[in-house]
Chains A and B, each alone.
Chain A
Amino acid sequence: MTNTDSELVEKVGPAPSRLTSSISHIVTDLGKNGIFLALIAVVVLFSILTNGILLRPQNISNLIVQNGYILILAIGMVMVIVAGHIDLSVGSVAAFVGAVSGVLIRDAGMPWWAAILVSLLVGALVGAWQGFWIAYVGIPAFIVTLAGMLIFRGLALVVLGNTNIGSFPTEYRALGNGFLTDVFGEFPVDPLTMGVGIIAIVGFIVQQVRTRAGRAAYGQDVEPLGWFVGKLVILTLGVGAFAYALATFKGIPVTLIVLAVLVMVYGIVTNRSVFGRHIYAIGGNRHAAELSGVKTRQVDFFIFVNMGFLAALAGLVFTARLNLAGPKAGDGFELEAISAAFIGGAAVQGGVGTIGGAIIGGLIIGVLNNGMSILGIGIEWQQAVKGLVLLFAVAFDVFNKRRAGGR
């Protein structure tokens, strides 16, 4: 700490006072987390408009379950976008894989777990197919996935023979509909859910404290202690309230567990792994990445394999939730996932975007959908409003950058 400070004095003149440095920390933090504040604003707005219905335990639980598959897609999509690509096919791929899983379980009589594994593999293969054309043949992702959108929608129809398949085993349906609850008997407030909530909070605090200690040990600038603790308190209260809401309803949705695992794993992949670094390097400057030894084609290829895998997972969750594999499933998913990534701060030119941002972007869309539905606003206006939100979110981002751009 002292080291860096004395050096700054050398370089830029007198050290900023403690107060101004605290304020500047808070301001940059708020700037970085603007999207988070936007989510809170949307939640508050619709809580008021719906007289609190939005925040009822049942509705909060629904919010997660109804948007789970969009959030899963958004995780893969933000990586695709950071690398400078786009994927228009995820809705069709989700429908195709949902159809495959349905046929495997019902017609081929495969056990549910085997059907899930095979379906995920099929998704990865679909991703490999698209990744091959994009990475090794050099066809723009827009074209390849536009073609994929048609191809896999068509194949979904072929697999289903143009009808719906339904009535799946309970274990399979749990992926979209199930809850972890009542393991310790019936209580008004489910102890398991609260326990998991507390473990999540403690885990998060421990991780944050360790990160902070690690930075400080390396003499890096860390945020003021008060602000750090304040943020943790706010987060603890938020997660606690969320867990309580779930605990008074049906418990932890299985979809939420899937999502939590994905967010953690992909958070580490994008933030800390060499592969993740390579994605950002490619998105920021493909030539420079290549000349730094990044195997750009290989990275591109695996980004699409991963997207195929996640599209398959989203397809399974969706099919399980509806208990139905239909040819129209997943229609428009790609647009919601892309919107989520962009609302969450991903840059159209690539190189910028985070998993956390995409999740929050997806939640904003989810709250808008849910809130407007509660208010009885028709689908036509819902569409229009979501379109405007996407436009304004990106416009806001562009405006911010221009202002920060200066010279």
Chain B
Amino acid sequence: MTTNILEMRSITKTFPGVKALQDVTLEVARGEIHAICGENGAGKSTLMKVLSGVYPHGSYDGEIVFENEPVAFRDIRDSEAKGIVIIHQELALSPFLSIAENIFLNNEVKGRFGLIDWNRANSEAAKLLARVGLRENPTTKIMEIGVGKQQLVEIAKALSKRVKLLILDEPTAALNDDDSDHLLDLILHLKEQGITSIIISHKLNEIKKIADSVTVLRDGKTIETIAKSDVTEERIIKDMVGRDLEHRYPDHTPHIGEEILRVENWTAHHPQDPSRVMVDKVNLNVRRGEIVGIAGLMGAGRTEFAMSLFGKSYGSRISGKVFKNGKEIQTRSVSEAIGNGLAYATEDRKQYGLNLIEDIKRNISAASLDKLSRAGLVNDNEEYKVATEYRKSMNIKAPTVLAKTGKLSGGNQQKVVLSKWIYSDPDVLILDEPTRGIDVGAKYEIYTIINRLASEGKGIIVISSELPELLGICDRIYALSEGRITGELPIAEATPEAVLKLMTMESPR
């Protein structure tokens, strides 16, 4: 039994009014990759915060044994000193500092007189970067490299701390498939070097690919730990939601009508560097009742297209034409776009979608205050009523609409965002990564809502990094690569291989 590097026994953590963890047990064998799965709010992050000392010893019940020694961390520095490093979903890098400066932040390479020895720091950083397979100069600023590379810098930083147990919270949530694959390979590679990893992920195919064992949490309790040989996606899902999910995508019979939106030759340039073309003569259309997918790798220009279309919220030198029901419309400002029946739910609901310090009610009404007001004054009773109706019909889990959106889980936050846009009564909804960071059960609910909107005769555009999702819910898929539409496939012809081929097609320049 000494092969376990970590044992967390009977961990119970209570917040006022909520039992976040209840008698949770986690055993991680030395040198393995251990996955933790669970719906949002199941207690995964809380468990990792207990482990890393964010919640100090004494604020929880239970026992943590690391390398056969009981440990009692007071803060993160304590746990890092023992070799436990956690990499959070939101990366903790300073964008204006260089790679090397970030790696050695608070762990500086000191030379004479206690001053920083930059030469040695940079060369040490270069060695660490080689270990994680990142070919960048250590003096490059963090903001100049993409999210995928930043993730690797985080891992290099962990290695600099002589990590024994690496915890990754949703490491691939923001990465495209290439970057994800690279990261997963790296984790496997680190395993060969004897580094144990705990990986929290929603992506079951990833887990299946790299995990040696999987522990599933549900409602703050351990459901079971599954060995690699017994891991199936179905079993994990069943454990997570406590029931079988027959289908991951709800049935959807399309009733497609006439064209509702057509975009012609849509072009947008980079906001700071107008010589760079980010969206290049995009042509597409959506019909009533149709769900159209836009597939593309990160950086293909999907969000750039949607945001430049939605009131010129992105880019410079934007050109092209938009037709609704055959008539040309303008979308020069967001309010004009909304007025013309467009809605855009952003990919990053915390940064761009919600006012987290406000309640559900005010978020739902945010884009449609005109409907609720007379002579410039808002009828807040009516607002409450409307919000409550959406809370019920969208199944937003909160006791009242006065709950702050910042306290909701990702899935419920997304339902608030969708409620906001449905209440604005658009004809065309553009949904950018509608299920990012959302658990399986809530995803199904979101898909059901999308289907309902389509069957009401709205046109839906779904942008997603998850190809199976697009294949599961769309009626037609456009592939976008380097800002250009590289192809269009009806769902019957859209195999993963076919779409991927179009997504990665390089355009002749």
Contacts and interface: CB of A to CB of B under 8 A. Distances in A.
Interface string A189-223: 00000000000000000000000001101111100
B376 to A, nearest CB: 5
A288 B378 contact: no
A274 B378 contact: yes
A274 B385 contact: no
A406 B377 CA distance: 35
Contacts of B472: none
Given A292-B367, A351-B357, A287 B377 contact: no
B333 A291 contact: no
Interface string A1-14: 00010001001100
B369 A11 contact: no
B366 interface: yes
A352 interface: yes
A6 to B, nearest CB: 13
A352 B381 contact: no
Interface in B296-317: 310-311, 313
B399 interface: yes
A351 B400 contact: no
Main secondary structure of the interface of A (DSSP, over half): helix
Contacts of A352: 357
Given A295-B333, A407-B46, A289 B377 contact: no
B151 interface: no
Contact of B366 (A220, A268, A289): A289
Could you say which of B20, B333, B358, B420 has the most chain A C-beta atoms within 10 Å of its C-beta?
Answer: B358
A347 B397 CA distance: 28
Nearest to A8: B399
Interface stretch (B102-110, B210-218, B344-352, B497-505): B344-352
B334 A291 contact: yes
A402 interface: no
B384 A351 contact: no
Given A8-B399, A274-B373, A215 B381 contact: yes
Contacts of A278: 369
Contacts of B400: 4, 221
Interface residues of A, number: 36
B338 interface: yes
Contact of A277 (B20, B362, B385): B362
A290 interface: yes
Interface in A272-324: 272-275, 277-278, 280-281, 284-285, 287-295
Nearest to B370: A274
Contacts of B365: 277
A285 B344 contact: no
Contacts of B346: 291
B355 A351 contact: yes
A285 B354 contact: yes
Nearest to A268: B377
B313 A291 contact: yes
B394 interface: no
A281 to B, nearest CB: 6
A272 B310 contact: no
B508 to A, nearest CB: 35
A247 B251 CA distance: 75
A287 B351 contact: yes
B356 A285 contact: yes
A288 B380 contact: no
Nearest to A215: B381
Contacts of A4: 400
B335 A291 contact: no
B380 to A, nearest CB: 7
A272 B378 contact: yes
B41 to A, nearest CB: 10
A292 B366 contact: yes
A12 B370 CA distance: 34
Given A221-B400, A274-B373, A287-B352, A292 B313 contact: no
Contacts of A215: 381, 384
A277 B369 contact: yes
A273 B376 contact: yes
Contacts of A284: 355-358
A250 B362 CA distance: 45
B56 interface: no
A407 B378 CA distance: 33
A272 B367 contact: no
Contacts of B58: none
B114 interface: no
A274 B376 contact: yes
B358 A406 contact: no
B113 interface: no
Contacts of A295: 333, 335
Contacts of A8: 399
A323 B285 CA distance: 70
A288 B355 contact: yes
B20 A273 contact: no
Contacts of A293: 311, 333-335, 337-338, 367
Given A277-B362, A292-B367, A407-B46, A218 B381 contact: yes
B354 A218 contact: no
Contacts of B313: 290-291
Contacts of A291: 310-311, 313, 334, 344, 346, 352-353
B361 to A, nearest CB: 10
A274 B399 contact: no
Interface in B360-399: 362, 365-367, 369-370, 373, 376-378, 380-382, 384-385, 397, 399
A8 B333 CA distance: 41
Given A274-B373, A274-B378, A292-B420, A11 B355 contact: no
A264 to B, nearest CB: 13
Nearest to B348: A287
Interface string A78-122: 000000000000000000000000000000000000000000000
A82 to B, nearest CB: 11
A285 B381 contact: no
A178 B237 CA distance: 75
Nearest to B17: A406
Nearest to A350: B357
A274 B362 CA distance: 11
A284 B358 CA distance: 7
B92 to A, nearest CB: 18
A288 B46 CA distance: 28
Could you say which of A214, A281, A293 has the most chain B C-beta atoms within 10 Å of its C-beta?
Answer: A293
A406 B378 contact: no
Nearest to A221: B400
Contacts of B310: 291
B216 to A, nearest CB: 21
Contact of B376 (A11, A275, A351, A406): A275
Nearest to A287: B352
A288 B349 CA distance: 8
B405 to A, nearest CB: 10
Contacts of B335: 293-295
Could you say which of B311, B338, B356, B380 has the most chain A C-beta atoms within 10 Å of its C-beta?
Answer: B380
A288 B366 contact: yes
18 contacts: A220-B381, A221-B400, A273-B376, A273-B378, A277-B365, A290-B334, A291-B346, A291-B352, A292-B334, A293-B333, A294-B334, A294-B366, A295-B333, A351-B355, A351-B357, A406-B16, A407-B15, A407-B20
Interface of B: 15-16, 18, 20, 46, 310-311, 313, 333-335, 337-338, 344, 346, 351-358, 362, 365-367, 369-370, 373, 376-378, 380-382, 384-385, 397, 399-400, 420
Given A218-B381, A407-B46, 9 more contacts: A215-B384, A217-B381, A220-B381, A220-B384, A280-B355, A281-B358, A292-B366, A295-B335, A407-B15
Top 7 nearest A-B pairs (CB, nearest first) are A284-B355, A293-B335, A292-B367, A292-B366, A218-B381, A293-B334, A285-B355
Interface of A: 4, 8, 11-12, 214-215, 217-221, 268, 272-275, 277-278, 280-281, 284-285, 287-295, 347, 351-352, 406-407
